[in-house]
A and B are shown apart, each in its own frame.
Chain A
Amino acid sequence: MKLLEYQGKELFTEHDIAVPKSYLARNQSELNQIADKLQFPVVLKSQLTVGGRGKAGAILKCMKLEDLAPKFTELLNKEVKGELPKVILIEEAVNIDKELYLSLFLNRGKRSYSIISSAQGGMDIESVENKVIQDISITGLTQSDAENIAKKLNLDGVTAKSFSNIVIKLAKLVREKEAELAEINPLAILKDGTCLALDSKIIIDDNSLFRHPELRKYVQISELQEQAEKSGFSFVELDGNIAIIGNGAGLVMSTLDIVTDAGGKPGAFLDFGGGATTETIYKALEVISKLSKIKAILVNLFGGIVRTDLVAQAILNAYQDGMITVPIYARISGAESEKSKKMLSNSNAKLYDTVEEAISSLVQYKELSK
């Protein structure tokens, strides 16, 4: 779960990591309530999960009260990579001397946490130069470890102390909240030498949420996503118009690639997990039926282990209930496949023995390119 900037900053505040003074506004009336408290200049920041807000113009500086409302409205209506904000963060601008980069992340290969820091902040981590990367123990990080990192960045005096305190606090946050990533970019050094977190990017381990009731308020998933998850499915909405359903994340991903290679545009990824029963397939189709952009459905079930007639029955039911009208191309090999083909012979669904065959006829479907 990726937190929004203001949510991450709430966690920073809880862990005593300094952030700029700020307010949240969802709409004009909330904005009116805070307007006269603001010390200008302020920075308006669209609260989005996608990256690249700065470049997309979703962060605006505002020098005076008169400009506040128009800029606020502009941001509320600005879509970035298909995402509209629900809330705008309004922060008082600060005098910055220098910007640093700091992140703590789960280093999968090493099965430990690593810290990345750099005396150059404000950029994409891949373009950050002079990185200091080292493995740390988030349970046993000492003051002197943190001070060493500050030394490597050539920080001294008040700044070195403030920075190493933040490293310790960030490690504590990562440990307590079970984060996979906690990034502060940029971490500002103010005129007085102390450090202040100007941005936050925190990703929480979804699998640990069951023991973090305090983080549940941050869970933000679409209704459709929620419905899918309740059924135990993994569901990701994509940009195109072909829904891809299968039993296994890897298999569905692989199908996505083959469809894309063949010129198709996937619009949904749905992995319904292990058991391919009439009920699970029907439920998966039900989720897909709520996406009006979908013009065709590709079902890819791992061969050999599926009772294909159970799948055929689900497809038949979905058509008969009027839930699905678009054509279904299904790769189902396994027991009872002749019977299944017969069951679906009068429907809008076709069965294929290989995924390649299913996809090559799918991409010829004319409605897809309209």
Chain B
Amino acid sequence: MSKKFDIFDILVGKPGDTDYGNKPVIIQGITGNFGSVHTRLMREYGTNIVAGVTPNKGGQTFEGIPVFDSLKDANKNFGAKISGIFVPAPFFLSAVKDAVNNGIKLLVAIPEHVPVRDAMEALEYAQTNGAKIIGPNTPGVIVPSVNKIGIMPSQPFTKGSTAVFSRSGTLMYEVSYHLSRQGIGQQIALGIGGDPINGTNLIEAFELIGDRDEVESVVVVGEIGGDAEESLVQYIEKTGFSKPVVAYVAGRSAPKEKRMGHAGAIVYGNYGSAESKISSYSKVNIPVAKRPAEVPSILLKLMK
């Protein structure tokens, strides 16, 4: 994307906006099991959910939230730029098109098991139309004490000045939990997603916070599979990214050619191996924690 994508402007806004800290969000798949449970939890956390979409259920309401057949109908009055996608994987692509065509600029894509071909087409569609996808197969994004769009529990997160980017959902919670316990809060925590193709990859996540002063450090939680960490290191080298970074890589002991739970967590030869990622990090002197619980102490040392 040529124009800089300001995720904080979209998620939080600027002081003076009438909806500062209260940006409207639409949930696609709001009446499903998953969508409904998490709509409730997101609202409890403070997310301003203004409408939901479920085809053929237009006209209903969910706990007072109006439900529409399509995002086109839903967004007529709200001007929302954020959607949380909770539809089953086979409907993902059409949900993305519906959102992108109707004013949504940030799509948080929760579903697991989206075919790669659909994910690629969705990303291309979003990109061509100036929208950004987080995920698919992501726990979502949280700006602690403002709002969350996703399925993450609230408890591990506290407001602060680090950014957590994670390819794994539970490890995002786990690491944030350890950070919070050591008094290190998060400015943002964002799940890259466990699939082979990610709408927002690690490099793009770094670009989101690169010149934001409020973010003083970054924690990158990676895992085996692909070359996202290796590419990130090249990016850090090239741009001279200067905020302190601590990394963690899960799957050092995983066997090759076995999919370890996530569609993207698989090693072929040396491609995607933990050793390759850890040795890349060491090239740019980024410390790699051996355990999630080690992350805070390493970060505190760097921040001194």
Select from chain B the residue with minimum beta-carbon distance to A270.
Answer: B261
Instruction: Looking at the assembled complex, report how far the CB atom of B289 sits from the nearest CB atom of chain A, in whole angstroms.
Output: 10
With known contacts A178-B115, A210-B90, A304-B177, A356–B226 Cβ distance under 8 A: no
Q: Among the listed stretches B10-18, B148-156, B205-213, which one makes contact with chain A, having 4 or more residues with CB under 8 Å of it?
A: B148-156
Alpha-carbon gap, A181 to B197, bound state (A): 14
B117 adjacent to chain A (CB < 8 Å): yes
Q: Is the beta-carbon distance between A254 and B257 smaller than 8 angstroms?
A: no
B30 adjacent to chain A (CB < 8 Å): no
Q: Is the beta-carbon distance between A207 and B263 smaller than 8 angstroms?
A: yes
Instruction: Looking at the assembled complex, report how far the CB atom of A123 sits from the nearest CB atom of chain B, in whole angstroms.
Output: 12
| Residues on the B chain within 8 Å of A303, using CB | 174, 177
| Residues on the B chain within 8 Å of A258, using CB | 290-291
A354 adjacent to chain B (CB < 8 Å): yes
| Residues on the A chain within 8 Å of B77, using CB | none
A247 adjacent to chain B (CB < 8 Å): yes
Q: Is the beta-carbon distance between B253 and A260 smaller than 8 angstroms?
A: yes
Number of interface residues of A (CB under 8 A): 51
Select from chain B the residue with minimum beta-carbon distance to A250.
Answer: B168
Binary CB contact string for chain B from 83 to 113 against chain A (1 if under 8 A, 0 otherwise): 0000001100000000000000000000001
B47 adjacent to chain A (CB < 8 Å): no
Select from chain A the residue with minimum beta-carbon distance to B121.
Answer: A139
Q: Is the beta-carbon distance between B227 and A109 smaller than 8 angstroms?
A: yes
Select from chain B the residue with minimum beta-carbon distance to A179.
Answer: B116
Q: Among the listed stretches B20-28, B55-63, B67-75, B264-272, which one makes contact with chain A, having 4 or more residues with CB under 8 Å of it?
A: B264-272
Binary CB contact string for chain B from 242 to 273 against chain A (1 if under 8 A, 0 otherwise): 00000010111111011111111100111000
| Residues on the B chain within 8 Å of A180, using CB | 116, 196
Instruction: Looking at the assembled complex, report how far the CB atom of B19 sits from the nearest CB atom of chain A, in whole angstroms.
Output: 30
Instruction: Looking at the assembled complex, report how far the CB atom of B278 sits from the nearest CB atom of chain A, in whole angstroms.
Output: 11
Which parts of B214-231 form the interface with A (CB within 8 Å)? 221, 223-228, 231
Most chain B CB within 10 A, of A211, A239, A248, A260, is at: A248
Q: Is the beta-carbon distance between A260 and B252 smaller than 8 angstroms?
A: yes
Binary CB contact string for chain B from 276 to 288 against chain A (1 if under 8 A, 0 otherwise): 0000000000000
With known contacts A126-B270, A248-B171, A254–B250 Cβ distance under 8 A: yes
Instruction: Looking at the assembled complex, report how far the CB atom of A174 sits from the nearest CB atom of chain B, in whole angstroms.
Output: 10
Select from chain B the residue with minimum beta-carbon distance to A105.
Answer: B268
Alpha-carbon gap, A206 to B262, bound state (A): 11
Q: Is the beta-carbon distance between B120 and A111 smaller than 8 angstroms?
A: yes
Q: Is the beta-carbon distance between B293 and A253 smaller than 8 angstroms?
A: no
Alpha-carbon gap, A238 to B89, bound state (A): 29
Contact of A266 among B168, B227, B253, B261 (CB under 8 A): B253
Q: Is the beta-carbon distance between B259 and A254 smaller than 8 angstroms?
A: no
Q: Is the beta-carbon distance between B114 and A108 smaller than 8 angstroms?
A: no
Q: Is the beta-carbon distance between A356 and B197 smaller than 8 angstroms?
A: no
Which parts of A280-337 form the interface with B (CB within 8 Å)? 302-305
Select from chain A the residue with minimum beta-carbon distance to B154.
Answer: A305
Select from chain A the residue with minimum beta-carbon distance to B291.
Answer: A258
Q: Is the beta-carbon distance between B261 and A257 smaller than 8 angstroms?
A: no
Which parts of A20-77 form the interface with B (CB within 8 Å)? 49-51
Instruction: Looking at the assembled complex, report how far the CB atom of B67 sits from the nearest CB atom of chain A, in whole angstroms.
Output: 24
| Residues on the A chain within 8 Å of B117, using CB | 178, 205, 208
B166 adjacent to chain A (CB < 8 Å): yes
With known contacts A126-B269, A178-B115, A254-B250, A302–B290 Cβ distance under 8 A: no
| Residues on the A chain within 8 Å of B90, using CB | 210-211
Give the 10 A-B residue pairs with the shortest CB-CB distance, closest first: A250-B168, A249-B261, A248-B170, A208-B115, A250-B171, A260-B253, A234-B261, A251-B170, A108-B226, A305-B153
Residues of B within 8 A of A (CB): 89-90, 113-117, 120, 123, 151, 153, 155-156, 166-171, 173-174, 177, 194, 196-197, 201, 221, 223-228, 231, 248, 250-255, 257-265, 268-270, 290-293
**Additional A-B contact list (10), CB under 8 Å, known A205-B116, A206-B259:** A109-B226, A111-B123, A125-B269, A211-B90, A248-B261, A249-B168, A250-B170, A302-B170, A304-B155, A305-B156
